[in-house]
Amino acid sequence: MKASRFEIRDRFYLDGEPFKIISGSIHYFRVVPEYWRDRLEKLRAMGCNTVETYIPWNFHEPKRGEFLFEGWRDIAAFLKIAQEVGLWAIVRPSPYICAEWEFGGLPSWLLADDGMRLRSSYPPFLEAVKEYYSRLFKILTPLQIDNGGSILMMQVENEYGSFGNEKAYLKFLRDEMRANGVTVPLVTSDGPWMDYLEAGSVEGTHPTVNFGSKAAEHLKMLKKHLKYGGPTMAMEFWPGWFDAWGNDRHSTTDVKGNAKDLDEILSQGSCNLYMFHGGTNFGFMNGSNYYEKLVPDVTSYDYDAPLSEDGEIMPKYRAFQKVIAKYADVPQITFSTNIEKHSYGKQKVSDRVSLFSVLEDLSSPTESPWPLPMEKLGQNYGYTLYRSAVSKEISMEKLQLLGANDRAQIFLDNRPFLTLYDHELDKEYEISGSNRNFAKLDILVENMGRVNYGPKLEDQRKGIQGSVLLNGHGHSVWKMYPLEIDAAMLKKLDFTREYQKGTPAFYRITFQVEEKGDTFLDLSGWGKGCALLNGFNLGRFWEKGPQKRLYVPATLLRQGENELIIFETEGETMDFVQLLEKPALGKD
């Protein structure tokens, strides 16, 4: 493609002509690569001329110095498909992205440094960013518009004004991007309040704003901040919202109200719909929020977006298409990806084995006098089991965990004793007389998803980083077993071992597929855990909802025999699961 020029002056200009950005967010990391083209074609067909995506650092550097940019992580391939479809791109490669993504995109290994200060000029943090940027921008800079690529502009930091106001940090990111070959205009995005906009802005970048309603009011605030003029842009207009475990229903918004706000934004400037298509928090990559309590997000990132989690065109899509048609030509596009939906019905559990029976096969323990948090064990996600011997000669009357996150299940000689969540973890608990003389203490701690927004961002070490108190004093000598529950671990499962009802366990279901199609795994009657299909982690499930089924793209199925393994922690199970062709996100 020939090189072009994109500029920010009094307006946005593309090759010298005024240009209105009409964009939608699609996160390549929440959509299987085989469906990238389908989602991008549908974005273009709604009338958008641009796609926006974040780049999550933890997706591309899961371990320090291990950089991954192939397959699902091939951001260059995603952007090239976008260009083929006729879309420009806004890329947001800041170290922190929020996005309801685990730890806001920051890699958890940063927390192995006891003194870590995130999103600041703390030297070890900047050093890690610098190393990551040296790899990332080798991929991105050739894809800029002035090199014949699709990238119009990039973002320096994301909603920094709601976190801090250290200008030296923002200047470092800006200068580091320029030093690594970024030539397109740079932007920031913040909430529509003057203190946030002031704190999150830095010289040499163009401010944009994020909001979900009251467009006229919020754009007025942005214009007030743009003292020297320049185009107004809603970098994130939220036409939907995300769901958290325990919500009483799937979050939805008013289509007519959304359309009215979109019209208002486009009448005054440019807009990016966040999200156009949400996708899925596969694996353990959901984020959490924390204000008064811990609120982890569900596996689905449907977002009540114009395009559903499984790529279906929703009524909101048609309403937005009508609004966009007032400002741009809406192309006629024939979608090139054939996507079918199938129901495979009821599938029976064939094998089961308890975690305690196979623990030593699955994980090599680290031994320490005191408990260590997940990050010190070199573990990113999943569960950690803490095990210690206890003298049966001593009657244990009280138990307390100090510095534990997020959810702990306590077992005395393999028998369930307590399950503690969030604030419950801080309290001291009585041990009843029948349980006081035990020989083995197991504590299974689950990382429910690191917080992705707000002041709790730096308090996200998982597992146990304090002490376990028995009878009021610290108990020592621990074995710690990291359990990331991945494909490599599943290969070590031995289903001939003992199964103990009521304890954490693995369940195997095998089923045949003749014709591959998108489907949904229904886990009604199952308690809590995660499900892996052919070694791929589909995500978490939890009986408390609102999400009832896990999305299974056809690309994850095999023609012939498929293996589904469920790790369930509560001892609440059924003899079967169902694979159905429709979602069930909960009562709308």
Give the 3-state secondary structure of residue 267. helix
Q: How far apart are CA 319 and CA 296, in angstroms?
A: 31
Structure tokens belonging to residue 465: 């980083």
Through-space distance between the first and last CA atoms of the chain, rounded to whole angstroms: 45
* Angle between helix 123-140 and helix 167-179 axes, rounded to 10 deg: 30
Query: Which entry of 61, 102, 157, 159 is annotated as an active-site residue?
Result: 159
The answer to whether 25 and 53 have CB atoms below 8 angstroms apart is yes
Asked if 159 is an active-site residue, the reply is yes
DSSP state of 411: E
Asked if 393 is an active-site residue, the reply is no
- Reference 172, options 163, 180, 183, 162; nearest CA is 180
The per-residue DSSP string of 49-86 comes to -EEEEE--HHHH-SBTTB---SGGG-HHHHHHHHHHHT
Q: How far apart are CA 147 and CA 527, in angstroms?
A: 52
Q: State how far the alpha carbon of 289 is from the alpha carbons of 302, 457, 474, 477, in Å.
A: 17, 9, 31, 33
Strand 560-568 and strand 505-513: pairing? antiparallel
The answer to whether 383 and 372 have CB atoms below 8 angstroms apart is no
Query: Which entry of 102, 236, 375, 446 is annotated as an active-site residue?
Result: 236
Which CB contacts under 8 angstroms, 24+ apart, belong to 483-487? 483/355, 483/362, 483/363, 483/382, 483/383, 483/384, 483/385, 484/379, 484/380, 484/381, 484/382, 485/284, 485/382, 485/383, 485/530, 485/532, 485/537, 485/567, 486/382, 486/535, 486/537, 487/532, 487/535, 487/536
Give me the residue label for tokens 């970098």: 235
CA trace torsion 214, 219, 224, 226 (10° rounding): 150
In angstroms and rounded to an integer, the radius of gyration of the C-alpha atoms of the chain is 25
Structure tokens belonging to residue 16: 């010298």
> What values do phi and psi take at 297, rounded to 5?
-80, 155
The backbone region for 465, taken as left when phi is positive above 0, alpha when psi lies in -120 to 50, beta otherwise, is alpha
Cis peptide before 371 (omega within 30 of 0): no
Q: Which residues are catalytic?
A: 159, 236
